[in-house]
Structure 1
Amino acid sequence: MDTGVLVVGAGPTGLTLTNELRVAGVPAVLVDKLPRRSELSRAGGVQSRTLTALDQRGLLEPLLATGNYPTSAGHFAGIGFSPANTAHRLPWRSVPQVEIEGFFERHLAAHGVHVRRDHELTGLGQDTDGVTATFANGAVVRARYLVAADGAHSVVRSLLGAGFPGRPGTSTVIAADVRLSGAGEPMSHTWTDDGYWVALYPLGTDARGRPLRRLVLGGPDAPARDVPVTEDEIRGGLKEVFGSAVELLELRYGRRITNAARQAERYRHGRVFLAGDAAHVHLPLGAQGMNTGMQDALNLGWKLGAAVHGWAPAGLLDTYHAERHPVGAAVLRNVQAQSLLMDWAGTRDPDVVATRELFVALAELPEVQRHLGDLLSGMAIRYEMPGIEAHPSIGRPAPDLRLGEVRLHELLRPGRGVLLDPDDAFAEVAGRRPDRVDRAGVGAATEPLLVRPDGYVCWAGDPDELEPALARWFGEPRG
Structure 2
Amino acid sequence: MDTDVLVVGAGPTGLMAANELLLAGVSTVLVDRLPARSALSRAGGVQTRTLEALDQRGLLEPLLAGGDHPVGGSHFAGIPLPDAPAPDPGPGAHLPRQPWRSVPQVVLEAFFEVHLAGQGLKVRRDHELIALAQDDQSVTATFADGRSLRARHLVAADGGHSTVRSLLKAEFPGRAGTLTTIAADVRLSGADGLPTHHHSPDGHWAGIFPLGTDSEGRPLRRLAMGGPGRSLPRDVPITEEEIRDGLRAVFGDRVQLLDLCHARRITDAARQVTRYRHGRVFLAGDAAHVHLPLGAQGMNGGMQDAFNLGWKLGAAVRGWAPEGLLDSYHTERHLAGTTVLRNVQAQGLLMDWAGTRDPDVLATRDLFAELITLPEVRRRLSGLMSGTATRYPMPDTAPHPLLGRPVPDIDLGPVRVHQLLRSGRGVLLDPQDALAGAVAPWADRVDRAAGKAPVEPMLIRPDGHVCWVGDPETLRSSLTRWFGAPNRTA
Bin for the TM-score computed over the shorter chain = over 0.9
Contact 2:286/2:302 (CA < 8 Å) preserved in 1?
yes
Matches within 5 A, 1:203-282: 203-221=211-229, 222-282=231-291
The structure 1 residue matched to 2:447, chosen from 438, 457, 476, is: 438
The residue that corresponds to 2:156 in the other structure is 148
The structure 1 residue matched to 2:438, chosen from 425, 429, 432, is: 429
The structure 2 residue matched to 1:319, chosen from 321, 325, 328, is: 328
Give, in whole Å, the separation in 2 of the partners of 1:93 and 1:266. Answer: 31
Contact 2:71/2:102 (CA < 8 Å) preserved in 1?
yes
Give, in whole Å, the separation in 2 of the partners of 1:164 and 1:46. Answer: 26
Matches within 5 A, 1:295-314: 295-314=304-323
**How many Å apart are 1:388 and its aligned residue?**
4.9
- Would you identify which runs of 4 or more consecutive aligned residues in structure 1 move more than 4 Å? 84-88
Helix, strand or coil for the counterpart of 2:361?
A: helix
The residue that corresponds to 1:66 in the other structure is 66
The residue that corresponds to 1:9 in the other structure is 9
Structure 2 unmatched runs, 5+: 88-95
Give, in whole Å, the separation in 2 of the partners of 1:217 and 1:443. Answer: 50
Contact 2:84/2:382 (CA < 8 Å) preserved in 1?
no
Contact 1:73/1:83 (CA < 8 Å) preserved in 2?
yes
The residue that corresponds to 1:113 in the other structure is 121
Deviations 1:301-320 (A, max 9, x none): 00000000000001100000
Helix, strand or coil for the counterpart of 1:431?
A: helix
**Is 2:381 the partner of 1:353?**
no
Helix, strand or coil for the counterpart of 2:260?
A: strand
The residue that corresponds to 1:339 in the other structure is 348
Which range moved further: 392-401 or 134-143?
Answer: 392-401
Matches within 5 A, 1:120-135: 120-135=128-143
**Partner amino acid, structure 2, of 1:190:** H
**How many Å apart are 1:86 and its aligned residue?**
4.7
**How many Å apart are 1:184 and its aligned residue?**
3.1
Contact 1:186/1:201 (CA < 8 Å) preserved in 2?
no
Contact 2:320/2:483 (CA < 8 Å) preserved in 1?
yes
**TM-score for both structures, normalised by structure 2:** 0.96
Contact 2:82/2:382 (CA < 8 Å) preserved in 1?
no
Helix, strand or coil for the counterpart of 1:157?
A: helix
Helix, strand or coil for the counterpart of 2:395?
A: coil
Contact 1:118/1:137 (CA < 8 Å) preserved in 2?
no
Helix, strand or coil for the counterpart of 1:364?
A: coil
Matches within 5 A, 1:281-296: 281-296=290-305
State the Cα RMSD in Å.
1.2
**Is 2:474 the partner of 1:465?**
yes
**How many Å apart are 1:399 and its aligned residue?**
2.2
The residue that corresponds to 2:83 in the other structure is 83
**How many Å apart are 1:193 and its aligned residue?**
2.4
Structure 1 unmatched runs, 5+: none
Deviations 1:67-105 (A, max 9, x none): 111112401111112337654520100111110000000
Contact 2:159/2:286 (CA < 8 Å) preserved in 1?
yes
**How many Å apart are 1:461 and its aligned residue?**
2.2
Which range moved further: 414-423 or 370-379?
Answer: 370-379
Contact 2:32/2:124 (CA < 8 Å) preserved in 1?
yes
**How many Å apart are 1:185 and its aligned residue?**
3.0
Deviations 1:404-437 (A, max 9, x none): 2110110000000000011111101211122210
Give, in whole Å, the separation in 2 of the partners of 1:461 and 1:441. Answer: 14
**Is 2:198 the partner of 1:195?**
no
Which range moved further: 421-430 or 262-271?
Answer: 421-430
**Partner amino acid, structure 2, of 1:475:** G
**Partner amino acid, structure 1, of 2:254:** A
Q: Number of matched residues?
A: 479
The residue that corresponds to 1:185 in the other structure is 193
**How many Å apart are 1:366 and its aligned residue?**
3.2
**How many Å apart are 1:369 and its aligned residue?**
1.9
Change (3 A) 1:371 1:390: closer
Give, in whole Å, the separation in 2 of the partners of 1:389 and 1:248. Answer: 57
The residue that corresponds to 1:102 in the other structure is 110
Contact 1:395/1:458 (CA < 8 Å) preserved in 2?
yes
**Partner amino acid, structure 2, of 1:437:** V
Give, in whole Å, the separation in 1 of the partners of 2:176 and 2:193. Answer: 33
**How many Å apart are 1:396 and its aligned residue?**
0.9
Give, in whole Å, the separation in 2 of the partners of 1:304 and 1:419. Answer: 21
The residue that corresponds to 1:44 in the other structure is 44
